[in-house]
Chains A and B, each alone.
Chain A
Amino acid sequence: MRTLLTVTSLILALPSFAADALTDADEIVTNANLASYYAGADGRSEVRMIITDSQGRQQRRQFTVLRRNVEEAGDQQFLVVFSQPSDVRNTVFLVDKHLERDDDRWLYLPGLDLVKRISAGDKRTSFVGAHYFYEDVSGRRPSDDEHVLVETTDDYYVLDHTPKDAGTVEFASYTTWVDRQTFLPMKIEYRNAAGDVYRRVEVTGVEEFDGHPTVTTSRVSDLQTGGKTDMQFRFIKYDVGLPEDVFTERSLRSPPREWLARPKD
C-alpha cells in the first residue's frame, strides 16, 4: 500500500515539477524548519564534532542528542550527553525550547558535581568551543526573522532572512539554500553589516532514516578566522518513543542509559 502511494505521488509529481514550486517564503521556511528539527515525534542521534582552528589544530567532541517534540512545529525538548573526550564525559545539557517564551536551559558538570540553570541571555554563543552556536543545535525560531524568497533554482529555494531584532544577533542577514525536494537548508551564509559573508554552514551529506531525509555531515566555517567545525551525525533513529521523563532534571545527574545506548539494528 505504502509502495503504491509512493509510486503514485512520484508519477503525479514528475510532470508538474516546476509548477509545484512554492512561492511563499514563510511556507518554505516552515517546511525547512520542520525538515531540519522536527522529523518524527522524537529522535536520537550521535554527533561527532571536529573543531579545527586556523592553524589546523583539532579538538574533538562526541555526544548523543535525544529530542522530543512537545508539539509539531512547536515546543521541543533536547538532552545532550557528552561521551568524549573522557574528561568531559557525562556533561549534560537539557533544553526546553519554547516558541512563546525564552528557552529553559540546564547544565550538569560531573567534575564539579554541579547543576546550573543557564539564563536565556544570548543563544548565539559557541556550543562548547565549536563554530556552531547553541541556536544552531536547537534551531532558530522562524518568527525571529523576516523571510524573502529571492530565487527558485532547479534545486533550491534561495531565501534571504533579516532579523526582526538586530540587537540580539551578530549578523545583519543570512541567505539559505533550501533543497526543493527535502526542504533541508543545504547552505546558509551569514553576512555582516558591510554585506560580507563571514560565516557559512554547509550540509555535505544527507541520508534517509525512517523515511526522513536527514543531515549526516555538515560543516560550519568561520571565514574571519579560517577555523571550521565538522559534524557527523550517526546512529540516527526516529520515533523511538522517548518518554517525557527523560527530559527532566533527574536525567542531568543520571543520564538515561537505555535511551542513550546505540540502536543495534
Chain B
Amino acid sequence: MRAALSRFSTEKPVLVYAIVALLTLVCGAMIAGIRIDTDPENMLQADQPDRVYHNEAEERFGIHDAIVVGVVNETHPDGIYNADSLSVLHELTRRIETLDGVVVADLMSLASSDNISQEGPGVIRFEWMMKDAPVSDDEARAIRAKVERLPMLVDTLVSGDGQAAAIYVPIESKDLSYPLSQEIRAIADSIETDSDIHITGLPVAEDTFGHDMFVQMGISAPLAGLMIFLLMLYFFRSPVLVIAPMLVAMATVLITMGILIGMGFTVHIMSSMIPIFLMPIAVVDSVHIMSEFADRYTSERTAKETIREVVGHLFTPMLYTSLTSAIGFLSLLLTPIPPVQIFGAFVAFGILLAFLLTIVLIPAYVVRMKPASLAKLDRPAEATAVDTPLARALRVAGRTAVRHGKLITAAAVVVIAISVAGIYKIEINDNPVRWFKANHPIRVADRVLNDHFAGTYDSAVVFSRDAEGARLQFVADARPLAEVLDPGVQSTVMAELDASGDDIGAYYGNLIAAIDDALFEVVESEQVLRLEELMSLAEAAQFDSKYFQRPDVLRSIEQIQEALQASGYVGKTSAVTDVVKVVNRELRGGDPANYVIPDTPEAVAQTLLQFQSSHRPHDLWHILTPDLTSAAIWVQLTSGDNKDMSRVLDFLDAYLEENPLPPDVEMHWAGKNFINVVWQDNMVNGMLSSLGSAFAAVFIMMALLFRSIRIGLLAMVPLSITIVGVYGIIGWIGKDYDMPIAVLSSLTLGLSVDFAIHFIERCRALMRHSGSFDTAMREVFEEPARAIARNAIVIAIGFTPLFFAPLVPYITVGAFMAAIMALSGVTTLIVLPALMSWAGPWLFVEQRRQGVFTAAAQPA
C-alpha cells in the first residue's frame, strides 16, 4: 500500500493536487455553516441525568436565562435610594419591558415589584413598590424603608448596602440575548445619570464568548500559521521547502474543520482550538520529509526516485508518531464531556489526515518542482560541521548527559519528587466567567455586582415529595364507596377517580368537583352519606398531597436555609418560607415577632392565597409548584468558582446526613452553578481514565515498535516526566486545574512521545551502524537532535500567538503547550541519554550482545 501510494502521488501529481484541492474546497465550503456553541450545559451529554433533572427543574419552576442589569451608585449617601438613581431604574425597567423577546411577566425589578404594608391598625395595603419614579429623595428614602421590610428583595433586587439595584431580564430564547443586550445597552447609554449601569448575566457572557472565539479562530490561528512559516523559513532558509508543509497544514485544517462543521457538530471552545493544534502537528511530518529530501537529493538522481526512497524510509516512524499522537487525543473520548470528545476525535482525525496528506501531497509537490528549484537543493548534505548556537548547545548537552548519567538521573528523580508534591497541591476549580480576562466588562460587572449583592450565581435545592403512592392508596380506599353510587352520578365520579395523577393538583380538584356536583344531584340520604364520605376522603387526600404547606416541613426547610446561611458559604437563600413569613407578619400587624411560619397548614395555605392576591401571583411558582408537591430553595453565591459551589454541596450533604429527610422526600440540586460542578467532576474523573488508557496504549505501541518492553518503558520516560513536571508546576504556582489544563495531559502524551520515538530510533540505527554506543551517542546529537529541537521549537513557538487571544483558556493552552514542548524536548535530549549511559546494556539487550557497549568510540 505504501508503495502504491507513493507511486500514485509521484506518477499523477496533478491528479493528487486536483483531489486535495477539491476536497479542501468542498470541506472548506462547509465551514460557512458554522454554529458556535457557548452553552456550558453542553459540557454534559443531553441525556446526562443531572442535566436532565436541571432542565426539568428549570421548566417546573419557570426559570428563564436572564440578562442582569445593575444600577450602581457608590457616591450618593443613600446609595441608589435617591430620586435620580431610582428614576433611572424605573425608566430602564419600563423601556426594557417593551423589548420583544423579554419575558415581561417574570422580569424582576423594584419598578415591577409588589409591596405589602401596614396602613393603620388592622388595615393592610397591597400595591406596587414603585409604580411611578420617585420625584424627591424623601420619596426614594421611603421606598428604602419599604424594601428593607421585604427579605425577598434585599440582596436580590437591591443590595444590602443600598448602593446597587438589579433588574433581572428573563429572555424567551438564548438567541435573543445578543440583540437584546445591545438594545439594553443603547437604552442605558441614552439615559443621563450619575449612576453606573452594568449589563451582564450568563446569556450575555455566552454571546460575548462566542464572539471572542471567532476572533480567536480568525486571528490567532492564521497568526500561528504565519509564525510557523517564518520559523521554518529561518531554520531551512528555503521558501520552496517550507511552502509544501504549509499547504499540508492548511489543507488539514480546512478539511478537518469542514468535516466537523459539515457533520453538524457545533464549534465549542475546545473545537475552536483544533486549527491551532493541527497546524504545528501537520507541519512537523512534512518538515521531516522535506529536510531529508533536501539532504539526499543530488542532481544524479531524479527527484521521483529520491522522494520515493525518503517516504519509504520515513513511513514507519511517521506512522507511529502520528498514531501515538492520535491515540493521545482519541483517549479524550473516554472523558464524558461532548466538546472534549469532539475535540479529541477531530484532532486525531486531523493528525492522521495530515500524515496521509504528507505522504501523498509532498511527493507530488516535489516531482512538480521546477529543475531550477531542485538545483538549489542540490547542495552538500548538511555536514557534521554545522556550527550554529543550537548545534553547539546540543553537542554540549549530549556530552554532559552521557558523562553525568547517574547524577542527571538522580536530579530527574528529585524533580519528579518535587513535582509529585506539587500535584498534591493542585486545586480543582473552574469558573466560566474567569474565561474572560480580568478587565473585560463582563468580569468588571461580575465583580461590582457580587461586591454589593449576596451573589449573582444561582443554584437550587429542589425537594419533591412522591404523591403517587398516597394517591393510589386513596383510590383503593375510595373505590368501594364509588362503586355503590347511583348509576346517574357514578360514571362521572368514577371517571375522575380513575383519571391520571400526573397533575396531582388537577386530579384532586376535578374529583372533588365531580363529587360536589353529584352531591347536588342525588336525593336519597344513603347516597348523600356515601358521597359525603367520599368527599371527606378526597379532601383529606388532597390536603395530605399539599406537602409543602405543612408547617413542620416548612420549618425544616427554614432550618436548612439557616444552616446554609450560617455555614458562611452562601450569600443568601430564598424559599417559600420567606414568602409565608412576610405575609404572616404583615397580616398580623407587622410585628417582627410574627416573622414566623404559622402553626397550621390551613394558615399557611391562606398566607399563600394572600400572596397570590398580588400583581405577581406567578412569582410563587418559581419556588413552589402549584400542587405543592415540590419546592425549591434558591441559593445565591457571590462566586462562580466550582470549588465554592462544591463546598456548599458537601455542606448540605453532611447536614442531611445529620438531619435526614423523610423517606418519601427526595432532594436534588439544579441550576447552572451546580451543572458546572457536575461537568467538572466528570472531567477530572474522565481525564484520569483518558490518561491511563492512553498511557497504556502508547506503551503497548512503543513495545511493539521497538519489539522490546524495556525500550518501550524507556520511550515512556520523557512524556511521564513532562506530564508529572507540568502538573507539578501547576500545583506549585497555584493555577487552578480547569478544563484547558485537564486536556493538556493527553496532548502531552501524544506529542512528547514523538521525540522519544525519533531519538531512540535514531540511537538504535546509529548503534547498529557504528557498532559503538559512545559513537552513536555523539552522532545522535548532530542532525537527529537538531531535528528534535527544531520541531520542539516550531511547535512551542507556533502556539505563542495564543498569548494574544482574547480569552483566558487559549492563553493558558498556549503557555502550557510551549512549556510542554520545552520540557519534553529537554527530557528527551538529556534524560534519555543519561539513562542510557548507565542502564543502556540492560535496556538494549540485542545491542549488548553485539558488543556495542564495550566497543571503543570511533573517532569523530
Across-interface contacts of A235 in B (CB, < 8 A): 520
Which single residue of chain B is at the shortest CB-CB distance from A50? B509
Do A88 and B602 form a contact, CB below 8 Å, given A60-B513, A121-B125, A129-B609?
A: yes
CB within 8 Å of B: which of A152-171?
167, 170
Task: Tell whether, in the assembled complex, residue A110 and residue B602 are in contact, meaning their CB atoms are under 8 Å apart.
Answer: yes
Question: Taking the complex as formed, is B612 at the interface, i.e. its CB lies under 8 A from any CB of chain A?
Answer: yes
Return A126 CB to nearest CB of chain B, in Å.
4
Question: Taking the complex as formed, is B126 at the interface, i.e. its CB lies under 8 A from any CB of chain A?
Answer: yes
Question: Taking the complex as formed, is A12 at the interface, i.e. its CB lies under 8 A from any CB of chain B?
Answer: no
- Contact residues on A (Cβ < 8 Å of other chain), bracket: 35 or more
Question: Taking the complex as formed, is B123 at the interface, i.e. its CB lies under 8 A from any CB of chain A?
Answer: yes
CB within 8 Å of A: which of B614-668?
614-615, 617-618, 620-621, 625-627
Return A106 CB to nearest CB of chain B, in Å.
10
CB within 8 Å of B: which of A215-234?
222, 224-225, 227
Do A111 and B587 form a contact, CB below 8 Å, given A62-B516, A126-B617, A128-B609?
A: no
Task: Tell whether, in the assembled complex, residue B601 and residue A87 are in contact, meaning their CB atoms are under 8 Å apart.
Answer: yes
Bound Cα distance from A84 to B587, whole angstroms: 22
Do A60 and B509 form a contact, CB below 8 Å, given A118-B124, A126-B614, A225-B618?
A: yes
Task: Tell whether, in the assembled complex, residue B615 and residue A125 are in contact, meaning their CB atoms are under 8 Å apart.
Answer: yes
Task: Tell whether, in the assembled complex, residue B105 and residue A224 are in contact, meaning their CB atoms are under 8 Å apart.
Answer: yes
Which of B122, B125, B543, B617 has its CB near the most chain A CB atoms (within 10 A)?
Answer: B617
Question: Taking the complex as formed, is A48 at the interface, i.e. its CB lies under 8 A from any CB of chain B?
Answer: yes
Contact of B506 among A57, A111, A125 (CB under 8 A): A57
B530-544 vs A: 1/0 string, CB under 8 Å? Answer: 000000000100110
Do A111 and B588 form a contact, CB below 8 Å, given A60-B513, A125-B614, A262-B520?
A: no
Return A58 CB to nearest CB of chain B, in Å.
4
Contact of A88 among B122, B127, B598, B605 (CB under 8 A): B605
Which of A118, A167, A235 has its CB near the most chain B CB atoms (within 10 A)?
Answer: A118
Task: Tell whether, in the assembled complex, residue B612 and residue A128 are in contact, meaning their CB atoms are under 8 Å apart.
Answer: yes
Question: Taking the complex as formed, is A127 at the interface, i.e. its CB lies under 8 A from any CB of chain B?
Answer: yes
Bound Cα distance from A111 to B512, whole angstroms: 21
Bound Cα distance from A126 to B610, whole angstroms: 10
Task: Tell whether, in the assembled complex, residue A122 and residue B587 are in contact, meaning their CB atoms are under 8 Å apart.
Answer: no
Task: Tell whether, in the assembled complex, residue B98 and residue A193 are in contact, meaning their CB atoms are under 8 Å apart.
Answer: yes
Across-interface contacts of A16 in B (CB, < 8 A): none
Bound Cα distance from A134 to B613, whole angstroms: 9
Which single residue of chain B is at the shortest CB-CB distance from A52? B506
Question: Taking the complex as formed, is A98 at the interface, i.e. its CB lies under 8 A from any CB of chain B?
Answer: no
CB within 8 Å of B: which of A67-121?
84-88, 91, 107, 109-112, 114-119, 121
Question: Taking the complex as formed, is B452 at the interface, i.e. its CB lies under 8 A from any CB of chain A?
Answer: no
Contact of A112 among B503, B513, B603 (CB under 8 A): B603
Question: Taking the complex as formed, is A3 at the interface, i.e. its CB lies under 8 A from any CB of chain B?
Answer: no
Question: Taking the complex as formed, is B132 at the interface, i.e. its CB lies under 8 A from any CB of chain A?
Answer: yes
Task: Tell whether, in the assembled complex, residue A126 and residue B122 are in contact, meaning their CB atoms are under 8 Å apart.
Answer: no
Across-interface contacts of B132 in A (CB, < 8 A): 167
Question: Taking the complex as formed, is A10 at the interface, i.e. its CB lies under 8 A from any CB of chain B?
Answer: no
Task: Tell whether, in the assembled complex, residue B617 and residue A129 are in contact, meaning their CB atoms are under 8 Å apart.
Answer: yes
Across-interface contacts of A117 in B (CB, < 8 A): 122-124
Interface size on B, residues (CB 8 A): 55
B767-807 vs A: 1/0 string, CB under 8 Å? Answer: 00000000000000000000000000000000000000000
Contact of B512 among A84, A116, A167 (CB under 8 A): A84
Across-interface contacts of A4 in B (CB, < 8 A): none
Across-interface contacts of B626 in A (CB, < 8 A): 51, 53, 57-59
Across-interface contacts of B131 in A (CB, < 8 A): 167
Question: Taking the complex as formed, is B272 at the interface, i.e. its CB lies under 8 A from any CB of chain A?
Answer: no
Across-interface contacts of A222 in B (CB, < 8 A): 105
Which single residue of chain B is at the shortest CB-CB distance from A59? B626
Return B675 CB to nearest CB of chain A, in Å.
22
Which single residue of chain B is at the shortest CB-CB distance from A82? B609
Task: Tell whether, in the assembled complex, residue B104 and residue A224 are in contact, meaning their CB atoms are under 8 Å apart.
Answer: yes
Task: Tell whether, in the assembled complex, residue B105 and residue A225 are in contact, meaning their CB atoms are under 8 Å apart.
Answer: yes
Task: Tell whether, in the assembled complex, residue A126 and residue B509 are in contact, meaning their CB atoms are under 8 Å apart.
Answer: no
Return B447 CB to nearest CB of chain A, in Å.
34
Question: Taking the complex as formed, is A211 at the interface, i.e. its CB lies under 8 A from any CB of chain B?
Answer: no
Which single residue of chain B is at the shortest CB-CB distance from A122? B127
Do A87 and B546 form a contact, CB below 8 Å, given A109-B610, A126-B613?
A: yes
Question: Taking the complex as formed, is A11 at the interface, i.e. its CB lies under 8 A from any CB of chain B?
Answer: no
Which single residue of chain A is at the shortest CB-CB distance from B504? A57
Do A121 and B588 form a contact, CB below 8 Å, given A58-B506, A110-B606, A126-B617?
A: no
Task: Tell whether, in the assembled complex, residue B602 and residue A116 are in contact, meaning their CB atoms are under 8 Å apart.
Answer: no
Return A51 CB to nearest CB of chain B, in Å.
8
Question: Taking the complex as formed, is A15 at the interface, i.e. its CB lies under 8 A from any CB of chain B?
Answer: no
Question: Taking the complex as formed, is A243 at the interface, i.e. its CB lies under 8 A from any CB of chain B?
Answer: no
Across-interface contacts of B607 in A (CB, < 8 A): 112
Bound Cα distance from A122 to B62, whole angstroms: 26
Question: Taking the complex as formed, is A19 at the interface, i.e. its CB lies under 8 A from any CB of chain B?
Answer: no
Bound Cα distance from A81 to B600, whole angstroms: 20
B541-572 vs A: 1/0 string, CB under 8 Å? Answer: 01100100100000000000000000000000
Bound Cα distance from A170 to B546, whole angstroms: 33
Bound Cα distance from A236 to B233, whole angstroms: 96
Across-interface contacts of A125 in B (CB, < 8 A): 114, 126, 613-615
CB within 8 Å of A: which of B478-532?
503, 505-506, 509-510, 512-513, 516, 520
Return B705 CB to nearest CB of chain A, in Å.
61
Return B217 CB to nearest CB of chain A, in Å.
39
Task: Tell whether, in the assembled complex, residue B598 and residue A119 are in contact, meaning their CB atoms are under 8 Å apart.
Answer: no
Bound Cα distance from A222 to B105, whole angstroms: 10
Task: Tell whether, in the assembled complex, residue B126 and residue A121 are in contact, meaning their CB atoms are under 8 Å apart.
Answer: yes
Question: Taking the complex as formed, is B128 at the interface, i.e. its CB lies under 8 A from any CB of chain A?
Answer: yes
Question: Taking the complex as formed, is B382 at the interface, i.e. its CB lies under 8 A from any CB of chain A?
Answer: no
Task: Tell whether, in the assembled complex, residue A111 and residue B509 are in contact, meaning their CB atoms are under 8 Å apart.
Answer: no
Task: Tell whether, in the assembled complex, residue A57 and residue B587 are in contact, meaning their CB atoms are under 8 Å apart.
Answer: no
CB within 8 Å of A: which of B119-156?
119, 122-128, 131-132
Task: Tell whether, in the assembled complex, residue A114 and residue B612 are in contact, meaning their CB atoms are under 8 Å apart.
Answer: no
Across-interface contacts of B477 in A (CB, < 8 A): none
Task: Tell whether, in the assembled complex, residue B124 and residue A116 are in contact, meaning their CB atoms are under 8 Å apart.
Answer: yes
Task: Tell whether, in the assembled complex, residue A53 and residue B621 are in contact, meaning their CB atoms are under 8 Å apart.
Answer: yes
Bound Cα distance from A115 to B513, whole angstroms: 28
Which single residue of chain A is at the shortest CB-CB distance from B507? A58
Task: Tell whether, in the assembled complex, residue B627 and residue A127 are in contact, meaning their CB atoms are under 8 Å apart.
Answer: no
Bound Cα distance from A55 to B516, whole angstroms: 26
Do A88 and B617 form a contact, CB below 8 Å, given A58-B506, A167-B132?
A: no
Question: Taking the complex as formed, is A1 at the interface, i.e. its CB lies under 8 A from any CB of chain B?
Answer: no
CB within 8 Å of B: which of A166-219?
167, 170, 193-194
Question: Taking the complex as formed, is B305 at the interface, i.e. its CB lies under 8 A from any CB of chain A?
Answer: no
Across-interface contacts of A84 in B (CB, < 8 A): 509, 512-513, 516
Task: Tell whether, in the assembled complex, residue B509 and residue A85 are in contact, meaning their CB atoms are under 8 Å apart.
Answer: yes
Bound Cα distance from A128 to B98, whole angstroms: 27
Do A118 and B602 form a contact, CB below 8 Å, given A109-B610, A225-B105?
A: no
Return A124 CB to nearest CB of chain B, in Å.
8
28 A-B interface contacts by CB (under 8 A): A53-B626, A55-B59, A55-B62, A57-B625, A58-B503, A58-B509, A60-B505, A62-B513, A84-B513, A84-B516, A85-B512, A86-B542, A86-B543, A87-B601, A87-B605, A88-B609, A109-B603, A110-B606, A111-B600, A116-B587, A117-B123, A118-B124, A119-B119, A121-B127, A125-B126, A129-B613, A167-B132, A262-B520
17 other contacts beyond A59-B509, A129-B613, with CB at 8 A cut-off?
A: A50-B509, A53-B621, A54-B62, A58-B509, A60-B506, A85-B605, A87-B543, A109-B603, A109-B610, A111-B601, A116-B124, A117-B123, A118-B125, A121-B126, A122-B128, A129-B612, A222-B105
Residues of A within 8 A of B (CB): 48, 50-51, 53-60, 62, 84-88, 91, 107, 109-112, 114-119, 121-122, 124-129, 134, 167, 170, 193-194, 222, 224-225, 227, 235, 262
Residues of B within 8 A of A (CB): 59, 62, 98, 104-105, 114, 119, 122-128, 131-132, 503, 505-506, 509-510, 512-513, 516, 520, 539, 542-543, 546, 549, 584, 587-588, 598, 600-607, 609-610, 612-615, 617-618, 620-621, 625-627
In the A-B complex, the 8 residue pairs with the closest CB atoms: A129-B612, A111-B602, A60-B509, A111-B603, A87-B605, A119-B125, A58-B506, A111-B606
